[in-house]
Amino acid sequence: MSQPEAALTRKAIKTDRLAFVASDTDEAQEACSRLSALYGNVAPKKADVIVALGGDGLMLQTLHSYMGTGTPIYGMNRGSVGFLMNEYREEDLPARLLGADITPIHPLNMEVIDRDGYSHAARAINEVSIWRQTSQAARLRISVDNRTRLEELICDGCLVATPAGSTAYNLSAHGPILPISAPLLALTPISPFRPRRWRGALLPNKARVDIDVLDDNKRPVSASADHTEIRNVVKVSIHEDSNVEGLMMFDSDHGWDERILAEMFRY
């Protein structure tokens, strides 16, 4: 989102009705009680802004729950990681919300066929990951937009990450960090054995990725969209759903672009 667009969105936002949701930890629950006493707490469906108190796991859960509703989510860190969260402060919360940048994100759709021929579907905000289920390495064939690009990838697995998810599992697997507004997806192998030197690909966010599991009886594979896992899969199809949008809010003095730059220069 450009700065003019962000500014217009900030002017349009209201902060009269806030909803607070919290993880189960004592720290998050205590913060929720204090903030509710200060600012009130309405039902999330009636809120102008939903404030999530916890870590990145809670932020993902909240984004999944309210994806497509048009209600922005503002996270404050009461958890262990907090890359998706803002600093926790109780004072002047409405003013912080009015000054925050709003970042739209689009989820990935994962469509799966399992060994028994059943179809499954799930959404991912961070990534869709394919992973071997046993000690045997997975054998995968990867196609992009109906064209086979890798006839055989022998590996622990692979993943397709959004810009929002590029600093999560994707980064741990040595994948690239993507700016939040980049129209890209990261296709990243996990512990590749053959071809050993293949380090993945950057794809347009319009691309469709199809992954066929080879020798699925001997080398079973599971597929996960964030926290939704399907086991014994034979085919996985992944594409961005541009028709569905979630809205994340970040303090303007420490927005997503600054977080990405800081992570890129971390050593």
Mind listing the pLDDT tens digit for each residue in 18-31? Answer: 999 999 999 999 99
Whether residues 67 and 135 share a domain: the answer is no
Report the C-alpha gap between 54 and 165 in whole angstroms.
18
Q: pLDDT-derived band of residue 197, with 50, 70 and 90 as boundaries? A: confident
The boundaries of the domain holding residue 147 are 108-240
Which CATH number belongs to the domain containing residue 213 in this structure?
Answer: 2.60.200.30
168 marked as part of a ligand binding site:
yes
pLDDT attached to residue 257: 72
Tens-place pLDDT, residues 117-126: 999 999 999 9
| 59: Cα separation from own chain's centroid | 9
Please check whether residues 101 and 29 belong to one and the same domain. Answer: yes
- pLDDT at residue 145 greater than cutoff 90: yes
Do both 64 and 124 map to the same domain? Answer: no
* Percent with pLDDT over 70 in the chain: 94
Q: Is 118 annotated as a binding residue?
A: no
Q: Which residues contact residue 197 at a Cβ distance below 8 angstroms, ignoring those fewer than 6 apart?
A: none
Q: What is the pLDDT of residues 97-131, one digit of tens each?
A: 999 999 899 999 999 999 999 999 999 999 999 99
CATH of the domain at 9: 3.40.50.10330
Same domain as 255, residue 167: no
Task: Specify whether 56 is catalytic.
Answer: yes
122 and 230, same domain (yes or no): yes
Same domain as 98, residue 22: yes
What DSSP character marks residue 156? Answer: S
- The residue-averaged pLDDT of 196-223 equals 96
The two structure tokens encoding residue 101: 């940048």
**DSSP class of 16:** S
Choice among 16, 24, 26, 56 that is catalytic: 56
Residues 125 and 229 in one domain: yes
Is 126 a known ligand-binding residue? yes
- In this structure, are 17 and 57 located in the same domain? yes
Does the annotation list 43 as a binding residue? no
129 is in an annotated binding site: no
Report whether 243 belongs to an annotated binding site: no
44-76 residue pLDDT tens: 999 999 999 999 999 999 999 999 999 999 999
pLDDT at 7: 37
Higher pLDDT, 79 or 151: 151
Please give the angle made by the CA atoms of 108, 114 and 117, to the nearest 5 degrees.
Answer: 120
Whether residue 138 sits in one domain with residue 96: no
- 145 and 44 in one domain? no
Helices (H) and strands (E) in the chain, counts: 6, 17
Report the pLDDT value the prediction gives residue 20, as an integer from 0 to 100.
98
| Residue 173 assigned ligand-binding role | no
Q: Are residues 213 and 120 in the same domain?
A: yes
161 assigned binding-site residue: no
**Residues near 179 by beta carbon (within 8 Å), at least 6 away in sequence:** 163, 256, 257, 260
Cα gap 197→200, rounded to integer Å:
9
Mean pLDDT score across all residues of the chain:
91
Q: Is 212 annotated as a binding residue?
A: no
Smallest CA-to-CA distance from 15 within 84, 71, 54, 67 is with 71
